[in-house]
Structure 1
């Protein structure tokens, strides 16, 4: 296929895959301000939004050989920053919840206690490990533990049975306890 037959999105995608820095720089310069503004409408934190967008572009560059974008590159980036912004909010809520209610840590992870004055290290470890859970398991756990939804509400929202919801919660708890055993 000749370069003239490719639409602009295909040119961008092939340019990124081939490591064309000029195309990447042009894409960054064109979309960075828009993506930052969009993320800021979600996070209400301009500096955080700037970091999220920069991380998105960094990931795009680092994974340029393996990423798969169907359709518009711009739509892909806006969708990606939307999800990153929501994840940031979820993580902030989680931090806030555990900061304000440290007893929650012990409810979910009995026997796990942070070393003296290192609550933030435990929170970071919990956040990291939650982010590594399988997608559905993480979503169920976050809805239950962070947002306080009931198992029945989660089941209806996700279109799964209550038993499946319970299994995801048990699995998340088992995985997280195993991964956080260093804090025992």
Structure 2
């Protein structure tokens, strides 16, 4: 069953008052939504409060919700709107007027970019978890820790060529894993340009 079908079933169960569906939804998306809210509010406590409020409102209005996109997109849009309301209410909007209130098309792009980036990061992490540590480690040290090939070779006590080959293998695996997202990326890019 694909993610979209699973989400539709989850939404239908939620509409029917299924508490386990709500719990699954909360568990699956809470952390990502808090992280997303924090990009607007720059405050973890307020972000958590907003996400909890959105989930509470979702439960209260469960019978009338209509999800026309992916569930994650729907939730991110709810969080975005609630964050903007919070910013307006807190009078922070005066200092962020041009960058937040007047840039709603930009915010929509940011939401789409966040979703895409989040999905790609999950795919990369899942792919790296499948690769043996001795192959994946040079890639992680290079990309995440910023080490140069020579430094990685010294740290792992292997040759520079071994580091190059291992990073090349990881990059090929990641290209294969991400090839389906090329179409999504191009569609997003064309949407931004039109």
Normalised by the length of structure 2, the TM-score is 0.46
Q: Which has the higher helix share?
A: 2
